Amino acid sequence: MGFIDSIHTRERESLSGYAFLTENTKGRDFPMNTPPDGIRTEFQRDRDRIIHSKSFRRLMHKTQVFLDPEGDHYRTRLTHTLEVTQIGRTLARALRLNEDLTEAACLGHDLGHTPFGHAGEKVLNRLYHEGFRHNEQSLRTVEKLEKNFSGLNLTREVRDAILCHTGGVPAPTLEGRVVRFADRIAYINHDIDDAIRAKVLKPGDLPRELTDILGETQSGRINAMVNAVITESEGVNDIKMRGDIYEAMEKLRAFLFINVYDNNTAKSEEKKAESMLGQLYGHFVKNPGLLPPEYETVINGEGAERAACDYIAGMTDRYCISEYCRIFVPKTWKEG
């Protein structure tokens, strides 16, 4: 028996009857360029392809909530992704689900996110005639844009989980549904931590009726939410959270929208970012020939608006600012 076969055997023997077995994958759209190495399962190969992608590396310079914060300890889109992955693996292990599938999907779930967080997503959604949603762009990134527009050629199950981590349609696998909960648990709690660090919130500002249920500390709240998913989902063919904890979590999320996500202090620079992105989008739609040459295929096949969306969504915050300055800010004239 080979090493991969032994892993498949262990999965059959140890995972829940509701887990997705790696040997049952629907596979990839195209044959892999390199043969199996005999060590990694298909979902482990997906994980590695995501980690080594350019779009994954760019996450370190993309905003989570606070634009260009003065301090080294605020979350970025990359650290958010790592926290989601940690929670996702914890849930998958406790529920005896496929950790490799869960991990790969968590690592890839935000690859299509815009610069400047949801401010960038909002601008592109308003301007692009087909709308823009970051989960769909994440799927597009792994299917089409990565590796010089050949895509990462991931398995169907990982792609489904990436697409369904937000929105109205649940993922077909329980591992994909874990990603949705892991994402929400992660961002609610780390956004509170960042908001307190930024002095947008004080610890005592959190509603007492919610902290009495969820806990006073970040770790306590994460533990309460994770345990509420485990106890409610164990032994059933779905991923759910215990009702009282879920209700408190959603109320806490609503509190964050009012006091953090839409807070004037936290969002004081967002209008500038939105204006910058809007001007860049209009510029490239009117002048698609100024996009990098590799976008010619997208321009010819799907139009200048789609190509402008892809280019801007792939930017980091700092590259977006650099491009804006290059195009719109006059350079200092020097006498020859």
Categorize the per-residue pLDDT at 263 as very low, low, confident or very high, splitting at 50, 70 and 90.
confident
For residue 199, give the 3-state DSSP assignment.
Answer: coil
Question: What percentage of the chain exceeds 70 in pLDDT?
Answer: 97
Rounded Cα distance between 148 and 13, Å, is 40
Categorize the per-residue pLDDT at 33 as very low, low, confident or very high, splitting at 50, 70 and 90.
confident
Residues of the chain with CATH 1.10.3210.10: 38-261
**CA distances in angstroms from 305 to 6, 26, 64, 236, 281, listed in the order given:** 49, 33, 25, 44, 8
Q: What is the CATH number of domain 38-261?
A: 1.10.3210.10
Contacts of residue 176, defined as CB under 8 A and 6 or more positions apart, other chains included, come to 101, 105, 157, 160, 161, 164, 165, 170
| Six-digit token string for 122 | 């909002």
For the cut 60, the answer to whether the pLDDT of residue 336 exceeds it is no
What does residue 290 show for φ and ψ, rounded to 5 degrees? -90, -5
Categorize the per-residue pLDDT at 209 as very low, low, confident or very high, splitting at 50, 70 and 90.
very high
Q: Check residues 32 and 186 and name the one with the higher pLDDT.
A: 186
pLDDT at residue 271 in the model: 87
pLDDT at residue 173 in the model: 98
Categorize the per-residue pLDDT at 327 as very low, low, confident or very high, splitting at 50, 70 and 90.
very high
For residue 95, give the 3-state DSSP assignment.
Answer: coil
For the cut 80, the answer to whether the pLDDT of residue 333 exceeds it is no
For the cut 80, the answer to whether the pLDDT of residue 332 exceeds it is no
Q: Summarize pLDDT for 95-114 with one digit per residue, the tens.
A: 999 999 999 999 999 999 99
Q: Summarize pLDDT for 126-168 with one digit per residue, the tens.
A: 999 999 999 999 999 999 999 999 999 999 999 999 999 999 9
Q: Which of 178, 254, 250 is nearest to 214 (CA)?
A: 250
Question: What percentage of the chain exceeds 90 in pLDDT?
Answer: 87
For the cut 90, the answer to whether the pLDDT of residue 183 exceeds it is yes
For the cut 70, the answer to whether the pLDDT of residue 265 exceeds it is no
DSSP state letter for 234: T
Rounded Cα distance between 50 and 6, Å, is 25
